[in-house]
Amino acid sequence: MNRRGFLAKGVAGASVLGLSGCKVLDGLADQEGALHRAVASANGLSYRAQRLIGGGHTLAPEYAEADIRQGQRPNGSTNPDGAEYLALEAGGWAGYRLAVKGLVERPQSLSLADLRAMPSRTQITRHDCVEGWSCIAKWTGVPLALVLDRAGPQAAARFAVFRCYDVIEQSLAGGILYYESIDMIDARHPQTILAYGMNGADLPVANGAPLRLRVERQLGYKMAKYVHTIELAADLKGYGEGHGSYWADRGYDWYAGI
Amino acid sequence: MAGSLVYRQTVWMRAAHWLWAVCLFFLLLSGLGIFNAHPVLYLGKESGFAYDNALLEIGARDGAEGPRGFVRILGHEADTTGWLGVSGEDVQAFPPAVTIPSYYSLATSRIVHFFFAWVLVGTLLVWLAAGLRSGHLRRDLWVTGADLRALPSDIANHARLRFRHGRRYNVLQKLAYAGVMFLALPLMIATGLTMSPGADAFAPWLLALFHGRQTARTIHFLVMLALVVFFLVHMLMILAAGPLNELRSILTGWYRVDADAEGEAE
Ligand code: HEM
């Protein structure tokens, strides 16, 4: 084979490999497939590495007032339309109650006024969406650790699960409600707050009113909006499709610190 | 004139080389898939929605005869229908032929990207350790004063596609390889980590170093382009310098040197 022949064959071979390579790899998207599971296991490595290096307690960077140059871009659900939610909104959230239950000693039912009466934390942080964009805003709320202390987590509790009012997807079986979960290290992290205020005003509906989660060392989809219930649990199998969050059920990483 | 075979690549170097080839292939194609989720690059800490800090955008908008693709760089726009933004039936920034998976799935692109990011970093560490021990880094990649003095003649040789096959790399080769190993890949890893909110919490200096998360994302993209250029030139040089000899070297370690290079000192 002369050099030109070699070149032509090489280029042809490489391009066929390249193109079909992609299609062959489409099987990766099957979340229960062995290939997907093997590749996704790298995320467990990222989770452990970040917990090891950060010790779980490092703080996300906080920004200055001058860094707030725009409103917080809303994403995902922006306007829940369930009857219960609409009624609460119409009543100015007076009837809203946050339930804290599951593996706790003292289940709680807290009004917005109860939450506002607790010590608050205000932080200017960067919100990183899994899509790739970032947006800086100021968040005010009650540290989740204080709410959990009121309820008294049991020793068996390993995760905090957040249940939300918003229907994120219509399926044949009906509306799928958004839910998320974090481990107890993030649940007790000082910057993890249940926010009721944003950029100096009440939290708008588009951004999760009346109450949303902020988990500043993870991506945006972890920060559930429209939260009505927090459940402490020993494992995540009993929720949704068992991966611990609406997006994790759809192939996204449960740990979103990367 | 052809001389004898010399053993030029240890088994560690060859294994590392092929692992990188695999990693870079997957990182590039899954990265382009990730990019498609939000095909805009910005300069700064955040993405400007109420103001403009975009450097590059690949997008699509409706035209008289269906959607038209465009690339906008610092306000200057070009129609790229058929290539970027819109290709055939597909309305996405990078066409399916160059993304993993071949349809849009951000979740899948991300798990592939982060899996191979770990493999890349692991291989790099093994390569560094093996290369330091064997002297490969110092002997073959370290650019010396003598190398730099030889630069003009080496450029002239390359321009005339005249290659001398020695045991050692020539200067341009050294510069290219060292640039990839000690500049481009570390930059990819560092900017990749800067995009991770978890890493920013334990290494906030990364944000200072790259002037914000969105600038880091932009640098990640630009270095990706540089790596693609390196790859293309790498392939061209291999074809020009004798693909069979080069392939044997990187597969078996044995390389045929020019007759006048046989006596070259170790
Ligand atoms: C060296 C080969 C690599 C190539 C060619 C590559 C390419 C890409 C491309 C094209 C993107 C799309 C968006 C952008 O450009 O920012 C991307 C995203 C990303 N890459 Fe890489 N990458 C490489 C290595 C890495 C490594 C080693 C890491 C981890 C340390 C990493 C982490 C990331 C992250 C976190 C994103 C997501 C950014 C976002 O949210 O948009 N990459 N990569």
pLDDT tens digits, A172-197: 888 999 999 999 999 999 999 999 99
CB B216 within 8 A of CB B191: yes
C-alpha A114/C-alpha A253 separation (Å) is 34
pLDDT at A175: 93
Does residue B46 fall inside a structural domain?
Answer: yes
C-alpha B43/C-alpha B48 separation (Å) is 9
CB A236 within 8 A of CB A181: yes
Shortest Cα distance from B265 to chain A (angstroms)? 31
pLDDT at A24: 59
Query: Predicted confidence band at B208 (pLDDT cuts at 50, 70, 90)?
Result: very high
Are residues B29 and B44 both part of a single domain? no
C-alpha B113/C-alpha B108 separation (Å) is 9
Does residue B203 fall inside a structural domain?
Answer: yes
Provide the residue type at A176 as one letter: I
| Residue A49: both structure tokens together | 């590495």
Q: Are strands B2-7 and A159-171 parallel, antiparallel or unpaired?
A: unpaired
B9 pLDDT above the threshold of 90: no
Q: Which residue has the higher pLDDT, B192 or B260?
A: B192
Are residues B103 and B87 both part of a single domain? no
| Residue B195: both structure tokens together | 């995009």
pLDDT at A169: 94
CB contact under 8 A, B201 and A252: no
Q: Cβ of B9: how many Cβ atoms within 10 Å?
A: 20
Chain B residues whose beta carbon lies within 8 Å of the beta carbon of residue A136 = 45-46
Does residue B235 fall inside a structural domain?
Answer: yes
Q: A192, A187, A248, A188: which is closest to A216 by C-alpha?
A: A192
Interface check for A250 against chain B (CB to CB < 8 A): the answer is yes
Residues A27-60 pLDDT 10s: 676 777 788 888 888 999 999 999 998 777 899 9
Average pLDDT, chain B: 92
Does residue B226 fall inside a structural domain?
Answer: yes
Are residues B67 and B198 both part of a single domain? no
Residues 6+ apart with CB under 8 A from B90: B96
CATH class of the domain whose range is A61-250: alpha beta
Chain B residues whose beta carbon lies within 8 Å of the beta carbon of residue A253 = 107, 110-111, 114
Are residues B117 and B79 both part of a single domain? no
Are residues B192 and B122 both part of a single domain? yes
B3 pLDDT above the threshold of 90: no
Query: For ligand 1, what atom is nearest to the CA of residue B32?
Result: 10
pLDDT at A56: 78
Are residues B58 and B160 both part of a single domain? no
Instruction: Give me the residue from A22, A126, A130 closest to B100, CB to CB.
Output: A22
CB contact under 8 A, B45 and A63: yes
Average pLDDT, chain A: 90
pLDDT at B250: 92
Cα-Cα-Cα-Cα dihedral sign, residues A75, B191, A31, B33:
positive
Identify the residue whose tokens are 């990364």: B206
CB A114 within 8 A of CB A122: no
Interface check for A126 against chain B (CB to CB < 8 A): the answer is yes
pLDDT at B2: 64
Range of the domain at B68: 39-98
- Boundary (domain end) residue, out of B51, B74, B98: B98
CATH number for B253: 1.20.950.20
pLDDT at B34: 98
CB A230 within 8 A of CB A183: no
C-alpha A121/C-alpha A144 separation (Å) is 10
Q: Determine which of A94-103, A115-124, B32-41, B253-262 has the lowest per-residue pLDDT on average.
A: B253-262
Q: Which residue has the higher pLDDT, A24 or B192?
A: B192
Are residues B7 and B134 both part of a single domain? yes
How many domains are contained in chain B? 2
Residues B87-134 pLDDT 10s: 988 999 999 999 999 889 999 999 999 999 999 999 999 999 988 988
Residues 147-176 (A) with a CB less than 8 A from some CB of B: none
Say whether B3 sits in a helix, a strand or coil: strand
- Which residue owns the Cα nearest ligand 1 atom 40? A132
% of chain B with per-residue pLDDT over 70: 97
Query: For ligand 1, what atom is nearest to the CA of residue B120?
Result: 27
- Which residue owns the Cα nearest ligand 1 atom 42? B192
Interchain CB contacts (distance < 8 Å): A and B: 154
Are residues B71 and B14 both part of a single domain? no
* pTM score of the predicted model: 0.92
For ligand 1, which residues put their CB under 6 angstroms from it?
A 132, 258; B 24, 27-28, 31-32, 34-35, 113, 117, 120, 185, 188-189, 192-193, 195-196, 217, 220-221, 224, 227
- Which residue owns the Cα nearest ligand 1 atom 36? B192
A4 pLDDT above the threshold of 50: no
Are residues B46 and B90 both part of a single domain? yes
Question: Which of A31, A35, A48, A58 is the best mutation test for B, with the most CBs of B within 10 A?
Answer: A58
Chain A residues whose beta carbon lies within 8 Å of the beta carbon of residue B194 = none
Residues 6+ apart with CB under 8 A from A162: A179, A180, A181, A213, A224, A227, A229, A230
C-alpha B230/C-alpha B183 separation (Å) is 13
Does residue B266 fall inside a structural domain?
Answer: no
In Å, how far are A72, A140, B183, B217 from A120, measured between CA atoms? 20, 7, 45, 33
Q: Which residue has the higher pLDDT, B1 or B194?
A: B194
pLDDT at A148: 98
A17 pLDDT above the threshold of 60: no
Q: Which residue has the higher pLDDT, B148 or B25?
A: B25
B154 pLDDT above the threshold of 70: yes
Shortest Cα distance from B186 to chain A (angstroms)? 18
A153 pLDDT above the threshold of 90: yes
Q: Cβ of A39: how many Cβ atoms within 10 Å?
A: 21
A12 pLDDT above the threshold of 50: no
Query: Predicted confidence band at A19 (pLDDT cuts at 50, 70, 90)?
Result: very low
CB contact under 8 A, B46 and A69: yes
pLDDT at B265: 43
C-alpha B36/C-alpha B20 separation (Å) is 24
pLDDT at B125: 94
pLDDT at B262: 57
- Boundary (domain end) residue, out of B98, B127, B147: B98
Interface check for A57 against chain B (CB to CB < 8 A): the answer is no
Interface check for A131 against chain B (CB to CB < 8 A): the answer is yes
Q: Determine which of A62-66, B165-169, B208-212, B213-217 has the lowest per-residue pLDDT on average.
A: B165-169
Domain with CATH 3.90.420.10 in chain A: 61-250
